[in-house]
Amino acid sequence: MKRLLITGAAGGLGTLARRRLTDLAEILRLSDIADLGKAAAHEEILPCELADFAQVKRLVAGCDGIVHFGGISVEDSWDKILPANIQGTYNIYECARLCGVKRIFFASSNHAIGFYERETRIDASDPVRPDSLYGVSKCFGEALARYYYDKYGVETAVVRIGSCFPEPRDHRMMATWLSEDDLIALIGRVFNAPKLGCVTVFAASDNEEQWWDNRSAGFLGWRPKDSSEKFRAMIDAKCDKPASEAPVNRYHGGGFAIARLD
């Protein structure tokens, strides 16, 4: 690609993508409302408020692909979720259509299906069960991705990210953990696939405990190589195992399933 847009480029995953995707496009266009520092020779920095349509259209113009990490990444009030995650995601898709961008990596979340119970293995055909307003916003983005593909041919990988950190932080993350290397490999597969369509990918590494079935995305050829198992002794030593009925142990979405703002 000539130019790849990364939204939310100041966040954890955006920072990782900024550092690791330099071979995917000649120019990385980086955007966030937070400070992104100084641009490197292969970078363009364009601060953007995702809820502002005119700003987003300028941001998207001239790009060949979009990695959409932008928005609020935790549970929050509807007043904050609405502009960042709902209006902002609509603006990204509509501007992609208007500007001729044909492929998007949409960072969805396991919280779009967070109310499934731990012993239930699901695949992309199972209905969404959001565990939070944040999860609801990701379901909206997933529906938007399908609409823009069916009507306008904008291809999307709807990527339900588990827990992407350098290492898992608790026993739940032993199942949901996604290594940085596996995420970067997945992004590469998304943009190098000859045809993408609108595909849902559950993004977790090759962990011993698996809640999600990725066979419908097998054509991408993404095979996660890492496993959380190497961290098991560390997690067992520092984290008490929650009771079997505790939400963090019971639901795919963990504590989001009972988190309340009131």
By annotation, the residues acting in catalysis are 134
Question: Taking the alpha carbons of 156, 157, 162, 165 in that order, is the dihedral positive or negative?
Answer: negative
* Rounded CA separation 105/186 (Å): 10
Burial 196-216 (b: 16+ CB within 10 A, else e): bebbbbbbbbebeeebbebee
Helices 133-152 and 88-99 cross at an angle (nearest 10°) of 20
Structure tokens at 192: 């190098």
Task: Tell me the three state secondary structure of residue 46.
Answer: coil
* Rounded CA separation 260/151 (Å): 36
